[in-house]
């Protein structure tokens, strides 16, 4: 088996430039200039945070929203790390309110997956969305903000002044490159309802035509997320339809009440007419008999009764007006909710048709891929730092059919073993780290990484049993020998230059020591051979 694997190693590492290092200009992944493809850091990390730890960042920001009154502006968080502004103004009916998630200059998130975890946990904690719905919304919110990055005219046309006063052209929205996130990101979350619940986030805005078109340019066309969004819209439509029916019934009841109050008003008006007539007659009698005290008193009493009845009529008129106003308001609410229900239903139907079409296209592409002659190669991503990504490409056309999410492979070098593809990958700075990694043979994703830090300048050497790289121990550099599952089996007894060449020969392994001398190490012990 080891002989077979050695053959694979040699083939992978000595094949022509066409097979293992495909120039960036020769290979073009699917997508257009308008498609949104997030550039993430997918290499090793010095410290690995759990999904729970990442989500806690989002949930900790929920105090920005006042649960008892979502119409009150607020903010919460650390401006250096993560910060939320609840920008709302209920007094303004036109345009949208919004929450603004700000990534401060020290924010450490470096992958869109983790940014979405922060967003989704915030939406769940602040507005009560289920975990699944919040995850779906976070996908669309990030794509929406990437599509409209720095497009202030679009934001101005959609959002209230209370929102726009916080946005800066250079920061508004989300860059597709994680390196531009810290200190340069203002993620806009459109709010359509300040009552909370399912309809809080404006799903129509974050799933508009341009957003969906961008999703369709991805490898998976984001089918699953789009299906989940359809489900949300259908439930929004159901809720709006129920609200419309309830409002319509309430409007009918209010209309009935208004009619009843109107009948009472008319009855009280008849009483008023009689009371005024009685008062007029009593006053006439009192005028004709100025000395009759009883007539004078009766005229005074009748006048008071008439005035009291007039007040009763005025109060009843107020009740009629209130009942009519309530009925009209409920009619308006019913119409508005029906518009929402019809809109969401229409969007959901259109989206389902589009999804079905895209699913058929994916199936056709899968059939085509099944008969395609493909092989693995390396695509140069960063010429300055010589960072690459693995790709699966069509031998005949050179077109990339699948690209590894790991785009920080160093020194244009991978080794194929029965464990997968071994490479040195990663960056330095922040929480990033350079380590030995194993990439899955199919997905080309990291499935394992070394415990030790590897020199960013290290080359990768190998034989039938081991791979060799310059590794760090206690702040110094040594030659490390690793098994194919990345277990450290030996390290040199002397320190080496972090950029040391590694040459394997019959006599041993030659390296450059930290003092600049070319030194031979014994293959079985990695101890210096002194002849």
Q: What is the DSSP string of 176-207?
A: SBGGG-TTSEEEEEEES-TT-STTSB-HHHHT
pLDDT at position 41 is 79
pLDDT over 60 at 25, yes or no: no
**3: pLDDT strictly greater than 80:** no
9 has a pLDDT exceeding 50: no
Confidence category of residue 363, pLDDT binned at 50, 70, 90: confident
How high is the pLDDT of residue 1?
38
Cα dihedral across residues 101, 104, 107, 111: positive or negative: positive
CA gap 98, 173 in Å, rounded:
13
Query: What is the structure's pLDDT at 142?
Result: 96
Q: pLDDT tens digits, residue range 472-501?
A: 999 999 999 999 999 999 999 999 999 999
**pLDDT, position 428:** 86
Give pLDDT, residue 499.
94
Q: Hey, which of 63-77, 140-154, 391-405 has the most confident mean pLDDT?
A: 140-154
Segment 398-413 shows an average pLDDT of 86
**pLDDT band, residue 4 (cuts 50/70/90):** very low
pLDDT value of position 6: 38
Q: Which of 26-35, 85-94, 391-400, 510-519 has the lowest mean pLDDT?
A: 26-35
Give the DSSP per-residue string, 282-300: HHHHHHH-TT-HHHHHHHH
CA gap 149, 135 in Å, rounded = 21
Residue with tokens 């310059």: 470
Q: Give me the mean pLDDT over the 234-263 stretch.
A: 79
- The span from the CA of 422 to the CA of 400, in Å, is 21
Q: Identify the DSSP state of 42.
A: -
Tokens 């008193």 sit at which residue? 297
Question: Is there a contact between 84 and 64 (Cβ–Cβ < 8 Å)?
Answer: yes
The confidence score (pLDDT) of residue 371 equals 57
User: What pLDDT, in 10s, does the model give residues 147-192?
Assistant: 999 999 999 999 999 999 999 999 999 999 999 999 999 999 999 8
Q: What is the pLDDT of residue 95?
A: 93
H/E element, 378: strand 374-382
Which range of 210-214, 250-254, 394-398 scores highest in mean pLDDT? It is: 210-214
| Terminal CA-CA length for the chain | 35
What CA–CA distance (Å, rounded) separates 143 from 112?
A: 10
């Amino acid at each position: 088996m080891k002989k077979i694997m050695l053959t694979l190693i040699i083939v992978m590492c000595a094949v022509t430039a066409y097979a293992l290092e495909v120039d960036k200009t020769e290979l073009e992944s699917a997508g257009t200039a308008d498609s949104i493809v997030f550039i993430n850091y997918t290499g090793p990390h010095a410290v690995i945070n759990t999904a729970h730890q990442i989500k806690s960042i989002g949930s900790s920001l929920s105090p920005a929203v006042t649960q008892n009154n979502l119409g009150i502006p607020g903010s919460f968080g650390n401006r250096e790390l993560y910060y939320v502004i609840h920008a709302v103004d209920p007094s303004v009916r036109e345009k949208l309110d919004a929450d603004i998630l700000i990534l401060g200059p020290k924010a450490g998130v470096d992958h869109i997956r983790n940014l979405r975890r922060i967003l989704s946990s915030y939406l769940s904690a602040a507005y009560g969305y289920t975990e699944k719905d919040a995850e779906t919304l976070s996908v669309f919110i990030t794509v929406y903000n990437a599509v409209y990055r720095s497009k202030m005219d679009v934001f101005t046309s959609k959002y209230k002044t209370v929102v726009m006063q916080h946005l800066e052209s250079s920061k508004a929205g989300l860059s597709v490159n994680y390196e531009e996130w810290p200190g340069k990101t203002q993620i806009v979350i459109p709010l359509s309802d300040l009552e909370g619940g399912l309809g809080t986030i404006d799903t129509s805005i974050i799933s508009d035509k341009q957003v969906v078109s961008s999703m369709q340019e991805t490898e998976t066309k984001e089918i699953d997320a789009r299906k989940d969004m359809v489900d949300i819209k259908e439930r929004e439509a159901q809720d709006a339809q129920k609200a419309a029916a309830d409002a319509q019934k309430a409007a009918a009841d209010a209309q009935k009440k208004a009619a009843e109050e109107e009948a009472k008003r008319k009855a009280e008006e008849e009483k008023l007419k009689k009371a005024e007539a009685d008062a007029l007659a009593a006053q006439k009698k009192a005028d004709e008999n100025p000395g009759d005290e009883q007539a004078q008193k009766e005229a005074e009493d009748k006048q008071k009764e008439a005035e009291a009845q007039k007040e009763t009529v005025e109060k009843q008129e107020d009740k009629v007006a209130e009942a009519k106003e309530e009925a009209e308001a409920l009619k308006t609410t019913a119409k508005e909710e029906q518009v929402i229900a019809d809109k969401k239903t229409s969007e959901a139907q259109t989206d389902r048709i589009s999804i079905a079409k895209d699913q058929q296209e994916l199936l056709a592409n899968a059939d085509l891929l099944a008969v395609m002659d493909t092989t693995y190669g390396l695509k140069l991503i960063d010429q300055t730092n010589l960072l690459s990504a693995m790709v699966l490409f069509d031998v005949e056309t050179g077109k990339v059919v699948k690209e590894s999410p790991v785009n920080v492979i160093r020194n244009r070098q991978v080794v194929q073993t029965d464990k997968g593809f071994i490479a040195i990958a990663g960056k330095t700075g922040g929480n990033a780290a350079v380590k030995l990694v194993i990439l899955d043979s199919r997905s080309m994703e990291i499935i394992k990484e070394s415990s030790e830090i590897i020199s960013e300048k290290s080359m990768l050497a190998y034989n039938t049993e081991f791979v060799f790289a310059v590794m760090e121990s206690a702040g110094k550099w040594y030659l490390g020998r690793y098994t194919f599952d990345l277990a450290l089996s030996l390290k040199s007894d002397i320190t080496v230059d972090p950029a040391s060449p590694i040459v394997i020969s019959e006599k041993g392994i030659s390296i450059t020591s930290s003092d600049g001398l070319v030194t031979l190490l014994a293959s079985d012990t990695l101890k210096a051979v002194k002849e």
